[in-house]
Structure 1
Amino acid sequence: MKISVEELNELFKSSGIEILELREDLKSSEKYVDVRIIQDNGYEWAGSIPYFYRRTGLFIENPEDLLAYLTAIKKFFTKESIAKFQKEEKKFWKENMKGSDVTIHFFNELIKIKWTSNFPQNDNPQRRIQDIKEKGYTIASRRNGRKAERLLLPIPRGAETGYEIFSSAFRKKALKTLNEINVYELSSANKHGLLPDHKFPEIRWNEETRAENPDEMPDTEIKEKFQLLDNQRNQQKREVCRKCFQTGERGKLFGLNYFYKGTDKWDTKIPKVGKEAEKGCVGCGWYDIEKWRNGLNKLIEKSQK
């Protein structure tokens, strides 16, 4: 990313995010932005956030995407959010990580959410850190003299950040293929704020279903996988899908109890995550707004005859 820290801070002014440095970890091929995040109530958090992070497929290439990404995850760095993250993740390890007698000591150090190299003696500490990453956690790294330090970030497991990175070429192609229409509003009034939204929500993905979005993706595949939403509706959809995942209550678009397939309950015969889970999303308005709207219009027309 060829831009100075001064230029970045000019772009980030009024965001509550101060850019301190851009740096690269050559050993891991990861890139970091060192930041100070200042919340509206004055609470500050300082640390490193990856913007090239292969484990989650995060590859930010330009300042505008960096601004959008950091703005989206800023909410995770409040004092209250950090405390909640620590409480929930300690509970998660206590209830689900039985048998991780070695790795848990590394986790207990990292959950302090501070730079640390104070890990237990171990023949393969890198493997322990990798084990924790594979649980879905985001961990930053840096060199402090001869020591390698780590910092666990209070971002929800699985990097559910609310912002997905696409190349500028793919985004441009997706907008053109989908006619630059905000499918929620059925309008092209604000083309510049539109984002390609995965119909199949990320919260139900696993490693097998996570896929890249190549610039040469065929138009038919783009239409099958994506719809266009503005950032506000994209965030709203994520919250609806998260609630569905947690409770089994499918989302009701505009509060209407209409599903073009299935009911307002998640089909318990369908897996919650993975490729097969997408079948459980079909019929929900948030999954395919255009198909939902067309189905509802046909139902209205039929009732009027």
Structure 2
Amino acid sequence: MNPFKKGSTQYKDFETMSDCEWHCTKCELLSGQAKTWQVWRQEKGIQLDQDEEGHWYKKMFCKHCGTNTIHRKLKTTEIIETGLKARTSIPPQIAKRAKELYGCVDEYSVRVEPANQLEIDHRVPQVRWTSNEEDNSNLSDEQIIEKFMLLSRANNLLKSRICEECVKTGKRGKGYKVIEFWYEGGEAYSETLGCVGCFWHNPTKWRDELNKKMKQVK
């Protein structure tokens, strides 16, 4: 059963993909944002297939447009219960304030990026939430910094993959350039600590704490 509103872009994409074959995102599918497919998996319970390397897409030659493009595929049309807690929208004014507070710096790469290339990402991933998200309309600057970080689309997807792997394996992601350091706890995920201490929860705090350790060694 198609879970989307009839006539919508995502409804049409689900109908196209219901044959469970690979489909070109350039000439066959209408949804243009990579975030759409993440929402399909994590929030809608739609089961997408993976390529040989574990990506939720496959780069292959498209016989329709004649180029190598990213393709998407349903593993099955069966929709599963995700168990994820609901998130609320981030109002434009909050997104604007977050970018101003951080100076449009991508917290992973520590590079200033164009504002329209940055996404407001939750420090604690949705897959780790234990309750539904509260309204984001009236957050203080401190609450914005505690709750959100800025990431480019590519780095946001990278964080999502690593957090999903942590949920599956119970092993927290390594730091920038695969550095094995957690400023609180260790590699094993702890319900008590949660995400605190992991690079992917707070790259800025992680770097500060690593620098302190390095100075102590000197």
- The TM-score range, normalised by the shorter chain, is 0.5 to 0.7
1:213 corresponds in structure 2 to: 136
Shift of residue 289, structure 1, vs aligned partner:
0.5
Q: If you compute each CA radius of gyration, which structure gives the higher value, 1 or 2? A: 1
Cα 1:290–1:33 shift into 2, 3 Å? same
3-state SS, counterpart of residue 112 of structure 2: coil
Check conservation: 2:183, 2:209, Cα contact below 8 A.
Answer: yes
Q: 2:112 aligns with which of 188, 191, 194?
A: 188
1:245 aligns with 2:171: no
3-state SS, counterpart of residue 227 of structure 1: strand
In structure 2, how many angstroms separate the alpha carbons of the residues matched to 1:300 and 1:44? 52
1:172 aligns with 2:96: yes
Give 1:301's aligned amino acid: K
1:52 corresponds in structure 2 to: none
Q: 2:24 aligns with which of 40, 62, 67?
A: 40
3-state SS, counterpart of residue 194 of structure 2: helix
Aligned residues: 179
2:180 corresponds in structure 1 to: 257
In structure 2, how many angstroms separate the alpha carbons of the residues matched to 1:240 and 1:234? 10
Cα 1:188–1:197 shift into 2, 3 Å? same
Cα 1:261–1:209 shift into 2, 3 Å? farther
1:232 corresponds in structure 2 to: 154
In structure 1, how many angstroms separate the alpha carbons of the residues matched to 2:74 and 2:119? 28
Check conservation: 1:43, 1:78, Cα contact below 8 A.
Answer: no
1:70 aligns with 2:36: yes
- Structure 2 gaps, min length 5: 1-5, 17-22, 51-72
1:283 aligns with 2:197: yes
In structure 2, how many angstroms separate the alpha carbons of the residues matched to 1:260 and 1:210? 27
Q: Which has the higher contact order (CA 8 A, sep 6+)?
A: 2
Q: 2:75 aligns with which of 54, 70, 83?
A: 83
In structure 2, how many angstroms separate the alpha carbons of the residues matched to 1:176 and 1:199? 18
3-state SS, counterpart of residue 195 of structure 1: strand
In structure 2, how many angstroms separate the alpha carbons of the residues matched to 1:293 and 1:301? 12
Give 2:144's aligned amino acid: I
Check conservation: 2:88, 2:134, Cα contact below 8 A.
Answer: no
3-state SS, counterpart of residue 12 of structure 2: strand
Cα 1:45–1:33 shift into 2, 3 Å? closer
Give 1:260's aligned amino acid: Y
Cα 1:247–1:36 shift into 2, 3 Å? closer
TM value normalised by structure 2:
0.67
Shift of residue 67, structure 1, vs aligned partner:
5.1
TM value normalised by structure 1:
0.49
| RMSD, matched Cα | 3.7
In structure 2, how many angstroms separate the alpha carbons of the residues matched to 1:44 and 1:79? 17
Q: 1:198 aligns with which of 122, 128, 131?
A: 122
Cα 1:176–1:209 shift into 2, 3 Å? same
Give 2:74's aligned amino acid: I
Shift of residue 167, structure 1, vs aligned partner:
2.4
